[in-house]
Structure 1
Amino acid sequence: MAPLSQPPESGRPPQLVRPGLWLFAPSRDSQGGSSWLLEAGAWGGRGDLLVDCPGFTQANLDCLQRRTAEVGPGTIVLTSREGHGRCRRIQEALGWSVLVQEQEAYLLPGVRACTSFGSEHTLAPGVALLWTPGPTPGACVLHVHTGALDGLFCGRLLVPTGPSALAPLATARTFHWGRQLASVERLRRWLPAGSPAWIASGAGLGALRGDKLVMGGAALLAGLDLASLAPAGR
């Protein structure tokens, strides 16, 4: 790893996707994954929520430092080890707290103000995390269902497979495929009926062909044929 004093590259600023929700440019620090910023005013919290770490670039730091000056320090929510990126550098630059599932807290030595959780964790009424192991041991999702907001940040539990399409996908980096499918089923039972309205994936979004969010999230989840994806002999 390069010294902490090394200046970041310039990078591209995040893109506004809907009021209060921003998408950062793909980060090579997280294998081309996607990071999201949910503004405090959108979810009713005291600070913004940064869902996974974007690239350590000047454009991203400028944006996050402006938000810190406006509403105070936020929280970095890590949905899997694939989204950690340069968490320590970003945390040191911003002074934000970090929230991670306990199975992957050990991957963040030296990160200050780091809190871990087990099976579930509630940040505020209607804002909760669920442990969904499979993509990685400590993978989790963030559900935000408050006011007019009804979305799911699914990390890499579900990845884009085509326009308006998401599905669990086994890759060479998958921790446990059977557990991943079981986590999707648990997620379907955990979510309120008819929710979410949209899903934001933490994977690369190229397969969505220009879209950022996948609408009709509840119907998409209900329509997943998990039995056809189950390991042979199960």
Structure 2
Amino acid sequence: MPPATTKIPQAVFDTIFVFPPNRETLGGSAYLVLEKNAHGQSANILIDCPAFNQVNQAFIAANGGIHTLFITHRGGMAQVADFQKAFDAQVVIQEQEAYLLPAVTTNSFARDRILSPTSRVFWNAGHSPGSACLYHQPYGGVLFTGRHLLPNQQGAPTPLRLSKTFHWPRQLRHAQKLLSDFTPDTLSTICPGASMGFLRGEKKITRAYQQLQGLDWDQLKTAQPAL
């Protein structure tokens, strides 16, 4: 039996699960998206790295393993080689982050890549040089943003300027571009890669497009770096 303090992944939707925050990624949140290929075989996607412990490994195995491990940014990496070896997974990462995994066989991309008929990844530089998001079409459109967009204290999805932010104007441009790339009908939910406590018990950000639309983008341009 696992220790009583070990938390198990929680359902965000029927086929999307969020793992407990991982200390190895500074409290980052990883997700498992359940998918099947054209032959009905498991083609699951793990987004960033949860803790590599027995509970998480057993949960992943019980749900069909991992076909693809997608890394949203360099801060989402932890024990990538262990996950790849345990589940024989391909590791998909933007090319500007791939060099940080010299011991891992990676499948890198430049601007975007289609992972399945319902999931694709695309480059969204700013937080780090190779930050990227995953868009999952079901449920009205779910965007996994890593640390590109995080909930603020009101729970709204927001670009957050940090002392280690790679390029703030570029991050803002990419974030604002989401409003032209999507519509309220194609972007209903954001699953952020950290700061889940600001969601006050919720496991996702709803009305995602409308909340992005309501941000004060001019004020964000002058934001000072947080710690």
TM range (shorter): 0.7 to 0.9
Residue equivalent to 1:4: none
Distance 1:73-1:26 versus aligned 2 partners, 3 A rule: closer
Report the secondary structure of 1:157's partner residue: coil
Q: What's the TM-score, normalizing by structure 1?
A: 0.85
Moved more, 47-56 or 190-199: 190-199
Deviation at residue 188 of structure 1 after TM alignment: 2.2
Q: Does 1:156 align with 2:151?
A: no
Aligned to 2:100: 107
1:49 aligns with 2:45: yes
Q: Which residue of 2 aligns with 1:138?
A: 130
Written as runs of structure 1 = structure 2, the 5 A alignment for 1:165-180 is: 165-180=156-171
Mapped contact 1:22–1:38 kept (Cα < 8 A): yes
Show CA shifts across 1:25-73 (max 9, x none).
Answer: 100111101101111159x9841111111011111111122233xxx64
The answer as to whether partners of 1:164 and 1:215 remain within 8 angstroms in 2 is: no
Would you say the 8 A contact 1:178–1:231 is kept in 2?
no
Return structure 1 stretches of 4+ with deviation > 6 angstroms: none
Identity of aligned residues (%): 35
The aligned amino acid for 2:197 is G
Structure 1, unmatched stretches of 5+, are: 1-8
For the aligned residues, what is the CA RMSD?
2.2
Q: State the AA in 2 paired with 1:130.
A: F
- CA distance in 1 between counterparts of 2:133 and 2:6 reads 27
Q: Which residue of 2 aligns with 1:124?
A: 116
Unaligned runs of 5+ in 2: none
Shift of 1:198: 0.8
Q: Which residue of 1 aligns with 2:80?
A: 87
CA distance, structure 2, for counterparts of residue 45 and residue 227 of structure 1: 47
Q: 1:45 to 1:157 in 2, by over 3 A?
A: farther
Paired AA for residue 54 in structure 1: P
Cα deviation 1:110-132 (Å, max 9, x = unaligned): 213x2011112112334221211
| Of 19, 25, 47, the match for 2:14 | 19
SS of equivalent residue, structure 1 residue 134: coil
